[in-house]
A = this chain, B = another copy of it.
Amino acid sequence: MSRPRAAIVVTGSELVRGERTDRNGPFYAREALSLGLVPERILIVGDDPVDLEAALRAARESPVCLVSGGLGPTHDDRTVELVARVAGAALRVDERLEREIEAVSRSVAERLGRPYADFAAGVAKQATIPEGAEVIGIAGTAPGLVVRGGGCVFVVLPGPPGELRRLWPAALASEALGAVLARTVPPSRHVLRFYGASESAVARALAEAGGDGHGVEATICARDFEIHVDLVVEPGAEERGDSLAEALRGPLARHLFTEDERTIAEIVLDLCRPQGLRLGTAESCTGGLVAARLTDVAGASDVFAGGVVAYANDVKAAELGVPEELLAAHGAVSAEVAAAMAGGVRRRFGVDVGIAVTGVAGPGGGTPEKPVGLVHYHVSAPGLEKGREFSLPSDRETIRSRATVASLHLARRVLTRSRHEVV
């Protein structure tokens, strides 16, 4: 059984001009994939009606078309009108929807102290929908719709990503999309996350195991300095999926750090939690990014106590107790200072685990001995210390991100070992 294809059409002038990065296309694609559909393309167009209509016409060739944006009250917002045309459906005012939008608009008018008359045309416009469309909810004054026509089910949701995600479950529950999904079997997935292996080493291991195909689709994706492998396994190909996963685990075992979707920050926190370890950070070139990653995780506070961003040398000395003579002898970017920072945050904050980073993020500040991209990082834990360095001639953002990820992975390794060997 071949899986039904899904086309994705995203509309928004600021998106097609590159002023904002689209988040709805990737969301729709991931959702489609997990439902057993094949996302075949993501097309981003502006508000030109000719471009948008052409996009919808091409999308109609697929059994499912997921549309975002262009649902506002003004004449520029033409998505509903054009979906109706492409689906071959007449437009009509839905009176119940009109009353609902009117109520929202009246309260907005009141809040803004403007006459409702200013809003009336917009209300009529937004309540005008294709004959037979299912109204699955409303975001502000914009209705989400599911429209069947021309052999295609169009799901039409508003552009703001939060609204689109909120209405998506209702689209899944709609009759028209439900009928398509009844014919699909969601694939299963293997998730493997590697750190420290190259993308080509992972690709080679996959190729040596026979490669993908035959019901297993593999993506190997370098993301955030990790290698993320996803195996999407068609129903019936589970055995082959398992054996491919096993073939990747074998030669790359020491780089495999998780088989779920937790971030490295979540993993570090999860390693500390059962041991009751408290964690602190001491950052120079990463300037708070390590702490920000950790606190990005809800519930971080039972493990993460806090940290120091010691950007200036006097702060390293005063706040982390890094000896002036150490700074003078080795320079702020050195293995010695990284170790002193990690130890310093443990002592000063009374925490069990200290993560420290110091480096040259550039573009200025490099020297022949300590070039831009040189980073020292260190993790100090009960019974185990580990320091590492890398040198990555790159831009400031890349160097800082790499340093953030590398220090968290070092913490993972230290915590994994100390748990087994020391605690």
Most chain B C-beta atoms within 10 Å of own C-beta, residue among A162, A349, A364 = A349
The answer to the question of A329 belonging to the interface, with a C-beta cut-off of 8 Å to chain B, is no
Distance of A301 from chain B, by nearest CB (Å): 6
Contact with B along A279-309 (1 / 0, CB 8 A): 0010101111111101110111100111111
Residue of B nearest to A200 (CB): B112
From the candidates B20, B219, B365, name the one contacting A13 in the complex (CB within 8 A).
Answer: B219
Given A25-B18, A281-B309, residue A42 in contact with residue B43 (CB < 8 A): yes
- Which of A91-99, A243-251, A310-318 forms part of the interface with chain B? A310-318
The answer to the question of A419 belonging to the interface, with a C-beta cut-off of 8 Å to chain B, is no
A interface SS class: mixed
Inter-chain contacts of A31 with B (CB < 8 A): 18
From the candidates B40, B230, B292, B305, name the one contacting A315 in the complex (CB within 8 A).
Answer: B305
Residue of B nearest to A40 (CB): B51
Distance of A264 from chain B, by nearest CB (Å): 16
Contact with B along A205-243 (1 / 0, CB 8 A): 000000000000001010100001010000000000000
Across the interface, do A219 and B311 meet the contact criterion of CB distance under 8 Å?
no
Give the number of times this chain occurs in the complex, counting copies. Answer: 2
- In angstroms, Cα B292 to Cα A39, docked, is 36
From the candidates B19, B298, B299, B309, name the one contacting A306 in the complex (CB within 8 A).
Answer: B309
Across the interface, do B305 and A312 meet the contact criterion of CB distance under 8 Å?
yes
Inter-chain contacts of A23 with B (CB < 8 A): 21
The answer to the question of A100 belonging to the interface, with a C-beta cut-off of 8 Å to chain B, is no
Q: State which size class the interface on A falls in.
A: 35 or more
Inter-chain contacts of A33 with B (CB < 8 A): 17-18
Residue of B nearest to A289 (CB): B292
From the candidates B22, B291, B315, B319, name the one contacting A287 in the complex (CB within 8 A).
Answer: B291
Most chain B C-beta atoms within 10 Å of own C-beta, residue among A21, A291, A361, A394 = A291
Across the interface, do A288 and B298 meet the contact criterion of CB distance under 8 Å?
no
Residue of B nearest to A41 (CB): B45
The answer to the question of A387 belonging to the interface, with a C-beta cut-off of 8 Å to chain B, is no
- In angstroms, Cα B27 to Cα A29, docked, is 21
Distance of A160 from chain B, by nearest CB (Å): 9
Given A44-B42, A309-B281, A364-B299, residue A26 in contact with residue B18 (CB < 8 A): yes
- In angstroms, Cα B15 to Cα A22, docked, is 12
Residue of B nearest to A160 (CB): B222
Across the interface, do A310 and B315 meet the contact criterion of CB distance under 8 Å?
no
Inter-chain contacts of A20 with B (CB < 8 A): 26, 221, 223
Inter-chain contacts of A315 with B (CB < 8 A): 305-306, 349
The answer to the question of A324 belonging to the interface, with a C-beta cut-off of 8 Å to chain B, is no
Distance of A417 from chain B, by nearest CB (Å): 26
The answer to the question of A327 belonging to the interface, with a C-beta cut-off of 8 Å to chain B, is no
The answer to the question of A85 belonging to the interface, with a C-beta cut-off of 8 Å to chain B, is no
Inter-chain contacts of A44 with B (CB < 8 A): 25, 41-44
- In angstroms, Cα B397 to Cα A166, docked, is 16
Across the interface, do A43 and B43 meet the contact criterion of CB distance under 8 Å?
yes
Pull 13 A–B residue pairs with CB atoms less than 8 Å apart, ordered by A. A18-B31, A19-B30, A43-B43, A43-B44, A287-B291, A287-B294, A288-B289, A288-B307, A291-B309, A296-B400, A318-B349, A319-B348, A319-B349
Query: Residues of A with Cβ closer than 8 Å to B?
Result: 13-23, 25-31, 33, 39-46, 48, 51, 55, 58, 112, 162, 200, 219, 221, 223, 228, 230, 278, 281, 283, 285-292, 294-296, 298-301, 304-312, 314-315, 318-319, 348-350, 361-365, 394-398, 400
7 additional A-B pairs beyond A18-B30, A19-B219, A305-B315, beta carbons within 8 Å, are A16-B40, A18-B28, A287-B300, A288-B289, A296-B400, A306-B309, A309-B309
Q: Shortest 10 CB-CB distances between A and B: which pairs?
A: A287-B295, A288-B288, A18-B29, A288-B291, A18-B26, A306-B315, A18-B30, A288-B292, A42-B44, A305-B312
